[in-house]
């Protein structure tokens, strides 16, 4: 791993996105490393809880769109677009419980990554946003069903279609975040929660996680997310979608 760091202390592990100069934007390489690390952690039965955090100023700035757009509409672009779905499914399917430790910005694909975790703890000043529609692309990676499960269809539509940012307290009110704490207490709170959960038996932790995830799949299945990559690739090639993205970037002075 070059874009992640992994530390294990008994039953609790800490997995950190380590691309702070890019606000931990999810490049294809980082997505691949997350998929592989999920497999590595599944091979360590002593690890019961994994805290997922971001280095530097933010949790995650979302998908590295430049890396994707540069590939055009080729087959490799479609494969790259599908990496996010595979990553989210790998995180969700991990045997260990996962806790997203969110600070700074949690954007787009980073929000999907957080949604793939079992629990979410956020700093009071954390800011969430889903800017994909303003960028002329759909929210992919199974993000729609994951959000519908957590916050319901109406709020999913509002936040995805308006692209408006929302804070940690609103995220908690919507049911997306479990706890909101001052920024200087964030790491300690996530660690204390992980240690508390790690005192439970591995069997009951895994059984409960598996049961809840199965019920969630019945409520809003992610099975169709395999087609998200096709829609994402189509949006990159769509003339109107590209014009929307260009207008958005011009308004932001880029």
Which segments of the chain does DSSP mark as H helices, in order?
28-42, 65-69, 75-93, 109-116, 143-151, 153-162, 168-174, 186-198, 202-219, 228-237, 239-251
Alpha-carbon gap, residue 16 to 5, rounded angstroms: 5
Number of C-beta neighbours around residue 204 at 10 A: 9
Structural domains present in the chain: 4-182 (3.90.226.10)
Torsion of CA 111, 254, 245, 72, to 10 degrees: -90
The DSSP code sequence of 143-179 is HHHHHHHHH-HHHHHHHHHH---EEHHHHHHHTS-SE
pLDDT 10s digits, 205-227: 999 999 999 999 999 999 999 99
pLDDT of residue 127: 98
pLDDT 10s digits, 51-62: 999 999 999 999
pLDDT of residue 81: 79
Residue 73 has pLDDT above 60, yes or no: no
pLDDT 10s digits, 168-206: 999 999 999 999 999 999 999 999 999 999 999 999 999
Which segments of 59-185 does DSSP mark as H helices, in order?
65-69, 75-93, 109-116, 143-151, 153-162, 168-174
pLDDT 10s digits, 10-23: 999 999 999 999 99
pLDDT of residue 245: 80
Strand 12-17 relative to strand 49-54: parallel, antiparallel, unpaired? parallel
Number of C-beta neighbours around residue 242 at 10 A: 16
pLDDT of residue 163: 97
C-alpha angle 52/112/193, rounded to 5°? Answer: 35
């Amino acid at each position: 791993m070059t874009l992640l760091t992994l530390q294990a202390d008994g039953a609790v592990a800490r997995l950190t996105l380590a691309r702070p100069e890019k606000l931990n934007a999810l490049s294809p390489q980082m997505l691949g490393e997350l998929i592989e690390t999920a497999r590595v952690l599944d091979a360590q039965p002593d690890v019961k809880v994994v805290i997922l955090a971001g280095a530097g100023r933010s949790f995650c700035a979302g998908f590295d769109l430049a890396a994707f757009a540069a590939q055009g509409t080729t087959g490799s672009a479609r494969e790259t677009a599908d990496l996010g779905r595979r990553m989210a499914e790998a995180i969700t399917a991990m045997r260990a419980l996962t806790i997203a430790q969110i600070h700074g910005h949690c954007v787009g694909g980073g929000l999907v990554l957080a949604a793939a975790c079992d629990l979410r703890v956020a700093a009071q000043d954390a800011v969430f946003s889903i800017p994909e529609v303003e960028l002329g692309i759909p929210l992919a990676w199974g993000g729609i069903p994951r959000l519908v499960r957590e916050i319901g269809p109406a709020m999913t539509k509002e936040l995805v279609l308006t692209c408006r940012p929302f804070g940690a307290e609103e995220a908690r009110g919507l049911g997306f975040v479990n706890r909101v704490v001052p920024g200087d207490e964030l790491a300690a709170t996530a660690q204390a929660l992980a240690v508390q959960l790690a005192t439970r038996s591995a069997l009951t932790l895994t059984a409960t996680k598996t049961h809840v995830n199965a019920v969630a799949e019945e409520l809003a299945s992610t099975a169709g997310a395999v087609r998200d990559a096709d829609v994402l690739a189509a949006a990159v090639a769509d003339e109107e979608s590209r014009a929307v993205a260009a207008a958005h970037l011009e308004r932001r002075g880029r």
